[in-house]
Structure 1
Amino acid sequence: MDIEKLKFPIGKFVKPVKITSGHLQEWITDISTFPARISKEVLDLTDPQIDTPYRPDGWTLRQVVHHCADSHMNSLIRLKLALTEDQPVIKPYFEELWAELTDTKNMPIHPSLKMLEGIHERWTSLLNSLTKDQLERVFIHPEQGKTFRIDENIGLYAWHGNHHLAHIVETKKRHNWI
């Protein structure tokens, strides 16, 4: 079993040299459709299946679903900060510690699926309204010591959803749940 392939089933995010309107349309579509796509993959799973790790020493599928809600909520907040403040320094969070909290490890996935639906509906509406100038606005990620442009972050989060969706799909395939 190739651990790197289990960790990154679709590979790591690669930012295009030049982000085009075509990239943005594709990424916004991925973000827009993510809640329906993840729900389709997890709603019929049993609790023992949902509590299966996607890789050795990895998160369970339950933790992956809850993580997506947490992460995408943070991304929407970062977008709003970048749109309303001048180069804000965002607040990072310890996703690996959030994944160990009781709500992430033990709660049913339905509340996070509902969160994703609402977050993505608002996020998509906002993304579709952005001007060229707004797409170039930035936020600073102090933990990574990097400045992120909004257009780049759209691509990163389209990838993020597809990345975690692939964790679920590949786990289902390996266990013959499809």
Structure 2
Amino acid sequence: MDYRYPIGQFTHEGEVTLAQRQQWIQDIADLPERAREAVEGLDEEQLSLPYRDGGWMLKQVIHHMADSHMNSVIRFKLALTEDTPAIRPYFEERWAELSDSKDLEIEFSLQLLDALHRRWVALLSSFSNDDYAKKFYSPSSNKTMRLDHCLGLYAWHGKHHVAQITSLRDRLGI
């Protein structure tokens, strides 16, 4: 198994159906609880374990999800209110090395994920088909991305990081 991608990488071909969007919105809604369950009962020493050799500590993974999903919500809002805006990339690996990602209690990011995802789901649930077709441009990948595809990517992103945590717990029996 590739511990970097315990559930594989995100893929989706073709049109995004209404049923697929609804499932992805549910995945977004479920993430805060899944993240909390993934780290339940872990002590500070265990939260400081990397999910793989050379990987982030479990606490960094939790803080990263909050950072990444905050950026994603902003990108969605930019695409809704501007005509194919260019988004601002960020260096997630550098953010993960900041003191709030390495030292802060994970409860703050778990609470943030809960509140952020409630707002995000409310926003996503209000979209029309035309809204899901809106796009933004990513200079870091040199690609224009539709919001319906990004919805799938972030639904996967949350499950991906939760699986990094749970796969380490399974391997270590913790």
Q: Return the TM-score normalized by structure 2.
A: 0.98
Q: Mark the runs of 5 or more structure 1 residues left unpaired by the alignment.
A: none
Of 112, 117, 120, the residue aligned with 1:120 is 117
Where 1:139 maps in the other structure, the secondary structure is: strand
Within 5 Å, give how 1:1-178 maps onto structure 2.
2=1, 5-177=2-174
Q: Offset of 1:18 from its aligned partner?
A: 1.7
Question: What is the CA deviation profile of residues 8-59 of structure 1, one whole-angstrom value per residue up to 9, with x for unaligned ones?
Answer: 1000000231211111011000000100111012131100110000000000
Aligned residues, how many?
174
Where 2:55 maps in the other structure, the secondary structure is: coil
Where 2:3 maps in the other structure, the secondary structure is: helix
**Cα distance in structure 1, aligned partners of 2:172 and 2:105:** 21
Which amino acid in 2 is paired with 1:116? Answer: L
Where 2:145 maps in the other structure, the secondary structure is: strand
Which amino acid in 1 is paired with 2:44? Answer: D
Question: What is the CA deviation profile of residues 143-166 of structure 1, one whole-angstrom value per residue up to 9, with x for unaligned ones?
Answer: 100001000000000000000010
**Cα distance in structure 2, aligned partners of 1:10 and 1:156:** 13
**Cα distance in structure 2, aligned partners of 1:82 and 1:167:** 30
**Cα distance in structure 2, aligned partners of 1:159 and 1:171:** 18
The runs of 4+ residues in structure 1 deviating greater than 3 Å are none
Which amino acid in 2 is paired with 1:63? Answer: Q
Where 2:11 maps in the other structure, the secondary structure is: coil
**Cα distance in structure 2, aligned partners of 1:41 and 1:167:** 9
The percent of aligned pairs where both chains have the same amino acid is 48
**Cα distance in structure 2, aligned partners of 1:26 and 1:160:** 14
